[in-house]
Structure formats: structure tokens, C-alpha cells
Amino acid sequence: MYWSKYNILTQSEKYGYLLYNTMSQVFLRIPEEEIGLWKELQNAPDSYSRISGGEYLLQSRIIVANQEDDVNMYVTEFLKNKYNSSDVAVTILPTRGCNFGCIYCYEIERPNIHMNQETEAGILRFLKSNSNMKRLNVAWYGGEPLINFPSIERLSRAFLEMDIEYSARIITNGYLLTKEKADLFAPLHIDKVQITFDGTENTHNQRRPLLGGGATYRSIVENLKYLLSVHPNVRIDLRTNIDRRNMQEYNDFLIAFKQEIDDPRITTYPGFVSDLLSNECVDPSLNICEGGLKADFILDLYKKHGVRIDAFLPQYRLHNCIATKYFGFVIGPEGEIYKCWRSVGNKSQIIGNVNDSSFDMHQHSSFMIAGDFTRDSKCLGCKFVAICGGGCPLIRIRNKRENANINPCCPEKTHIEKLMEMRYEIYVASRHGDD
């Protein structure tokens, strides 16, 4: 028997000894009087029966018969999802045009190109060519996708007529989310919406103004209120793009926003403006995209303000990014096919076009393999693999193709002890008492 290599045993000043298995997600608080037995267990795992409830240690994978079984199962599940032909994920850009002039936008060139009905028909042909498709998930993206809402409406109705399970979400700045469009979200099955507010009203208007200037915050708030009133099943992801210029006022924004809209269907979370993946954005001195700095930000929010960002707590993740999913694609307004939404506009990364049925299998395979963490022995040997999922595939691709040296590792890797303490406090101490 073996002490699982995915066990993390740490001593919290506040809660004593905590044990977390990153693969099985078992989380335990160990009584002070038993810690000696637990430490002995690390070197003599066959003695697990001496621990109270010892059989549970086998069931929870704290003690294992083989150190490779868990990662083998994790990789198998990842690969099964990766090559599952019945599940198709597509990001569609009905336009690359945008009505905002965000100060950090990575889309340097935003030509006002709108998808036409010929390309819409090409998308339908492309998707129907996969006779195994049973589920289709579409993400409407841009530019600002609502600029070309007619394409969204026509394609959505066509998808709904197909004999498949269909779901959709939209990434929009929310400014053009008029009552007429909001009324159609439910019948078009657009049940998840990502909208970005970059801080309190003044800060947001400075960072995310209209193209050419003009405030946007107030219009988005009113549009969001109406959408929530007419779409009972909608879920809103409220993102705030964070860098050093606005990080200190994130909590102020949350307070101000909830005074206007406090709805359980809204999830608030920070995104992190980065200069790592393109020629975008912000000077390196302004971003906090490195994993350790992200974790510092999350921990500080919780410590000072009690704000919990669940997405950054250590938890099991089985990523299947479009970039490494065999049946996952990004389709631009002219029918061009990419493997990553950050590739849009980069002609060298086009792998085909739905209008002429062209498809470069070599380019497609290159993305699939270069971004695959299961081919990285260092990653597979890491105890954080199940909470990291290998990180961003595009980072891996750039590291291999361009000899870049971008760290793909997750925030948990450098701050696991503090994040474990935070998770314990949130999920155990706050709900069941500090026992």
C-alpha cells in the first residue's frame, strides 16, 4: 500500500491539521491527538487499520494500492471527453466588429465584418457532417456579437430544429442588450450570459467606454435588470477584468452593484488582464496574471472583506478546452475555422473554412497534440494535475512552437496551504461550526 502522492497534509494556525487529496477531493481535519498516527502512516501506509475508520482511507484514496491508478483514470476520462464525437462545442463570431474601445482589448484589429447567410448555411453543413453529434453547445462571441443579432437568431432557430440537445451562452458587453433582444434569449435557449463590469461606474466608464468615447455602465445595468425580469432561467456570469489599476476597488464595486441588483442568478468573479498570450492589453508591470499574484488577490479579498471566489478554490477540474477538443471549433464571421478564440484574425492559425469545406487536418492535429498536457511527463507527475487540468493549452502551444517560457501552472500550486484553510473555513467551519 502507498500514501497517495495526491495527499497534502498541512498545519493551519487557525484549524490545526488539514489533509486534502487533490485527486479524490477528500478534505479532512485531523484531531491533534491522532496526528502522530497520520504522520506514521506516510511512511508505513500498511498501518492504516490503526487509524479510526481506517477502511475509509482506502475508499477515499488517501491510501492506494498503486500510485498510478488515479492519474490513469483522470487521463482516461480526459481523453474520453476530448475525442467524444457526440459532444460538439462551437464558438461562433457573428461579427468581429465592436462598439466598445476597451483600454486593454487584445483584438487590435476589429474589422466590421458581419456574417452573411451563406456562411450561416456553411456552419450548418459543417456541423451536420458529424453524424454522431447528439449535443451541441454554442458560445456567441465577437467583437460584440449583438451587433449582428439577426445571424444569432437565424442560426439559433436552425440549431433548435436539429434532433439534438442544444444549449447556448453569449459573451457580450451588454450595451446592445435591448428589450427586443432580451425577450428572445429564452426562446433561443441563450440561458447563460457573460457580462463585464470593470469596477464602480466611473472606473468602468474609463476602462470600457464606447468606441470613440461615451459612458456605458448605466445602460448595461438597466439592460441587465430587464433581462433578469423576463428570463427566469438565465444565469449571469459577471466578470471584472482586474489589473493593478482597479484591483483595490473590486470589493467597492461588488457592494455598489449589489445595492442595485442582488440576484442569486448572478455569479461575480474576477478575470485577470494578461499580456502573456498575445500582443494585447497591458504592460507587464500592471498585470497580476501570474498564478501566485492571483492567489494573493483571492486570499486578500476573503481575509479583508469576506468575499469568496469559489472558482479559485482548489477543486477537481477536468478541462476540455476547444483548443484540444477534437470536435471543438471557433468559427469566424467569414466562415474561417480556428482552434482557439485568441487565434481569431490570425490567418496563420486558420485550419479551414465552412464555406468551401476546406479543413487542414495537419494544423488541426498540431493544436490537438501541442496543447495536450497528457503528453507532458512533468505535468502528469504533479500532484496538482487534477485541480489544474494542465492549464491553458495555448500557453503550452506557444511554449513549444515559439520557445516561450510562460508558466501554465495554477494559482493553487504556490498557495495551497492558505487556500486549503480558506476552503475549510468556507465549506466546513462556516456551515457546521468549528468542530
DSSP secondary structure string for all residues of 69-121 = HHHHHHHHHHHHHHT-TTEEEEEE-SBS--SB--TT-S-------B--HHHHH
User: Is 176 part of any domain?
Assistant: yes
Residue 81 has pLDDT above 70, yes or no: yes
Q: Would you state the pLDDT for residue 289?
A: 65
Same domain for 63 and 90, yes or no, is no
Euclidean distance between CA atoms 82 and 250, whole angstroms: 36
Query: Residues near 327 by Cβ (< 8 Å), separated by ≥ 6?
Result: 84, 85, 87, 88, 89, 130, 133
Asked if the structure places residue 93 within a domain, the reply is yes
Which residue range forms the structural domain that includes residue 34? Answer: 1-67
74 inside domain: no
| pLDDT at 435 (0 to 100) | 44
User: What does the mean pLDDT of the chain come to?
Assistant: 89
Who's near 221: CB < 8 A, 6+ residues apart? 260, 261
| Largest pairwise CA distance in the chain | 72
Query: What are the tens digits of pLDDT across the range 9-67?
Result: 999 888 899 999 999 999 989 999 889 988 889 989 988 888 777 888 999 999 999 99
So what's the pLDDT on residue 434?
Answer: 45
Domain count, the chain: 2
pLDDT per residue as tens digits for the range 182-200: 999 999 999 999 999 999 9
Residues 130 and 47 in one domain: no
pLDDT digits (tens, 9 = 90+) for 256-282: 999 999 999 999 999 887 644 444 445
Within a domain: 284 = yes
User: What pLDDT score does 350 carry?
Assistant: 95
Of the chain, the percentage scoring pLDDT greater than 70 comes to 92
**Which of 37, 67, 97 corresponds to the end of one domain?**
67
Same domain as 99, residue 47: no
**Contact assessment for residue 409 and residue 388, using Cβ atoms and an 8 Å cutoff:** yes
The yes-or-no verdict on residue 320 having pLDDT over 90 is no
Q: How far apart are CA 21 and CA 385, in angstroms?
A: 12
Do 270 and 169 belong together in one domain?
Answer: yes
Is pLDDT of 158 > 90? yes
73 lies in a domain?
no
φ, ψ of residue 280 to 5 degrees: the values are -95, 175
Q: Is the domain of 127 the same as that of 260? A: yes
Q: Which of 32-41, 329-338, 377-386, 410-419 has the highest mean pLDDT?
A: 329-338
pLDDT at 279: 40
Q: How many residues does the chain have?
A: 435
> Does residue 283 surpass a pLDDT of 80?
no
The domain that holds 414 is classified in CATH as 3.20.20.70
Confidence (pTM): 0.90
CB count within 10 Å of CB 171 equals 19
Are residues 57 and 121 both part of a single domain?
Answer: no
Q: What is the pLDDT of residue 277?
A: 45
Give the separation between CA 201 and CA 215, rounded to whole angstroms.
9
Residue 138 has pLDDT above 50, yes or no: yes
